[in-house]
Amino acid sequence: MSDGGENRRGATSDAALEESLLPQEAAAARTTSKYEKTYLDVLGVCCSAEVALVERLLAPLDGVRAVSVVVPSRTVIVEHDPEATSQSRIVKVLNGAGLEASVRAYGSSGIISRWPSPYIVACGVLLLASSFSWLLPALRWLALGAACAGAPPMILRGFAAASRLTLDINLLMLIAVAGAVALKDYTEAGAIVFLFTTAEWLETLACTKASAGMSSLMSMIPPKAVLAETGEVVNVRDIGVGAVIAVRAGEVVPVDGVVVDGQSEVDERSLTGESYPVPKQPQSEVWAGTLNLDGYIAVRTTALAENSTVAKMEKLVEEAQNSRSKTQRLIDSCAKYYTPAVVVLGAGVALLPLLLGAGDPERWFRLSLVLLVSACPCALVLSTPVATFCALLTAARMGILVKGGDILESLGEITAVAFDKTGTITRGEFTIDAFRVVGDKVQVTNLLYWISSIESKSSHPMAAALVEYAQSKSIQPKPENVAEFRILPGEGIYGEMDGKHIYIGNNRALARRSCHTDTVPEKIDDLKGVSIGYVICDGDLVGVFSLSDDCRTGASEAIQELRSMGITSVMLTGDSAEAARHAQQQLGGVLEELHSALFPEDKVRLVAALKARAGPTMMVGDGINDAPALAMADVGVSMGISGSAAAMETSHATLMSSDILRVPEAIRLGRRARRTILVNVVASVAAKAAVLVLALAWRPLLWAAVLADVGTCLLVVLNSMLLLGEGTTGRGKEEACRATARSLDMRRSQLAALASSNTAAPATASGEKDCHCCQKQSESNEDSVAIDIPADEHRQEELTCAPTNGQVTGSNPSVMPTSSSCASQGCCSGE
């Protein structure tokens, strides 16, 4: 059980590490508890030039620990000590620079007023009135009044930038307005101010709408919760681990936990992107931010509010939005030199003709002003972060957390995908098909007691299957009686009980730990199942068992979608060749390559080889043994909620649900984001070039330069917002229909189970045995309904199941054709 062993080792080491670090974490918590995060809507942030201004304004304040600016959403996040610097103080400093800042309240979406500011309205009215100067020449002065009426916000921001030696768009626009006034072209001065302020307002509205998805993450968790035992309403941040809270129908689950009482259906769409209700009963996990639909449940908390899944999602999205992609870093570095160079060029165009005595100085002066307006590359700088921002929000809404713009761009380049098997392609829900005692040295009850006690110390699905099998035989595990517990990487697990040295693992563990391996084949030839495990006690083989696992619904469809996109799909598994072939048959032979019996280091080697041979590679896995391969891939994708913490930590993206169809959707979104960024960059550069060509070839028009600058910014934002619709079509209608069907079928199953339990009561009273058969049958029916695969479709799938056309390889480089008959050298190594 190599992969299971890896998971066990990770769980044990993590627990030990957590215990050793508890005093350090407590000290760190005391140190950092005084700091809090304040989210502010800052409308004056329109491009990266204002980022430096905000940082220079807030960094000198006492108690400010960190400042981060999310330009696309006009959001500033300040980590500070509220006793040293209050929220009102931060707002006052920002507003002193004309940045129009306000504190975002808890649960607020940050949406601003849809109406323009009084400055824009006054500027527009006066400019409109000045257009009638052909009737009354004195009205031309209203254009100057329009420029003055709309300029105050620009003046405040420009002065703040100049005082801190920062060159931003506001300062450049003020120079252009002053130049137009100096040329006595008041209409053009008023038009510059009106176009700039209006486009900024429209851009802010668009950015606010685009950022609504990020803000909704903050409002998922309700601020209050009800204690189940007392009915007391408490603050969600005051709830400790182990508390039992009540969640009624229609309420949002406030903290991650496990259901201890009641049954219901929970809508997890906001967290996982799944569009159908998920049934919950005792021992089912629930997560903060999900909606309880139609029943009462009592939940025992397993995490604090600040450590909930939603809180982790919010942190990941926030970090991703603050990170910069390769394209963005390149553009920002170019913009750093572009603006000063164009300003120097503009000054040269204005001064050199005067010094050289060239004619028409007014034309040269206008040309220099056009160059100054073109010196701020706002649209170019926004072209990447706004598209990245919208794509990240869309991914989060689909239940995919992408850790940054670099990863998003890499998603669009993927040409090969490597899948782990257990828990990724398959469900990871094992069943014991056969269990046999070898020889007469150990009784079956003792053997099951030892196995279940040792396996109870693991969280791997295979271990859970063995424990459940022992419990079904009325044997209760006692993990506290295990004297020593060790993980055998790539082999299995070891424990000592009752003075016995017990190994549970795959054929590698058998070959290394058993003294009698020559009798193994005749013992397992007729075993059913695809994964074979062995139990060795004091060097003797004493038990053999087999397990099986089924592929996830939609796995074959997902791989077929990848193939239609020109992407190669391979399987990397630590399980046996027989298990790999069984999964390939269930998938209909869609995988191009199968690699089996792999150690974690083998997966790393094969991912590196796939990258060299096929190009940018994605690895999809869920276990701790997949973590090295996830890190090696260009994009590592972990199954977040069901996967291990190590896999989620080392991966580049996380699927919040077990829907493997999200993999091609993520790649499709990455490709769309790359195309959007390319269009944005080309449009930004083309607009600047067109204005300069127009100015040189015909006439320098200041208002055209301003319109090209701010208009292109607006177009870049609107084009990027098209990404917000990605993922909402295609499967949306199909999923909605399936959601309704699932809900109805689930209800029928629940009614059937209730009827069965009612009819079973008289039988119990009359003394009949086997009174639980009806209940078990109803549970089986409920499970089959949840899978939602019609019988005809399943039969057709079996009929069309073809042998693999790919390859099956072991941990060595040799390749076994699928058609070759191969003995089932089983292994319990899960993934």
d(CA 831, CA 827): 11
Rounded to 10°, the helix 461-472/444-455 angle is 140
Nearest to 607 by CA among 636, 639, 579, 632: 632
| CB-based contact 671:652 (threshold 8 Å) | no
| CB-based contact 433:546 (threshold 8 Å) | yes
d(CA 469, CA 447): 12
Nearest to 376 by CA among 7, 784, 712: 712
DSSP classification of residue 33: T
d(CA 810, CA 427): 23
d(CA 265, CA 782): 13
| CB-based contact 695:370 (threshold 8 Å) | yes
Residue 232: which residues within 8 A CB-CB, separation 6 or more?
226
d(CA 448, CA 98): 73
Residue-by-residue DSSP string for 180-236? HHHTT-HHHHHHHHHHHHHHHHHHHHHHHHHTHHHHHHHTSS-SEEEETTT--EEEG
Q: Which helix (H) or strand (E) holds 824?
A: none
Q: State CA 102 to chain mean position distance.
A: 28
d(CA 705, CA 691): 6
| Residue 815 backbone phi and psi in degrees, to 5 | -120, 130
Task: Record the tokens describing residue 498, joined without a space.
Answer: 């009752």
Nearest to 204 by CA among 73, 51, 376: 73
Integer angstrom CA distances of residue 742 from 276, 558, 748: 7, 21, 10
| Residue 744 backbone phi and psi in degrees, to 5 | -65, -45
Q: What is the CA radius of gyration of the chain?
A: 33
d(CA 373, CA 345): 12
**Residue the block writes with tokens 């990170």:** 323
* 257: β partners: 286, 301
Say if strands 400-402 and 101-103 run parallel, antiparallel, or are unpaired.
unpaired
d(CA 723, CA 687): 22
> Known catalytic residues?
420
| CB-based contact 289:252 (threshold 8 Å) | yes
Long-range contacts of the stretch 779-784 (C-beta < 8 A, 24+): 779/753, 781/749, 781/752, 781/753, 782/279, 782/746, 782/749, 782/750, 782/753
Integer angstrom CA distances of residue 71 from 55, 113, 630, 723, 730: 13, 19, 31, 17, 31
Nearest to 120 by CA among 100, 150, 142, 143: 150
514: left (phi over 0), alpha (psi -120 to 50) or beta: beta
| CB-based contact 84:62 (threshold 8 Å) | yes
d(CA 459, CA 748): 33
Q: State CA 813 to chain mean position distance.
A: 35
Q: Please report, in angstroms and rounded to a whole number, the separation of the first and last CA atoms in the chain.
A: 9
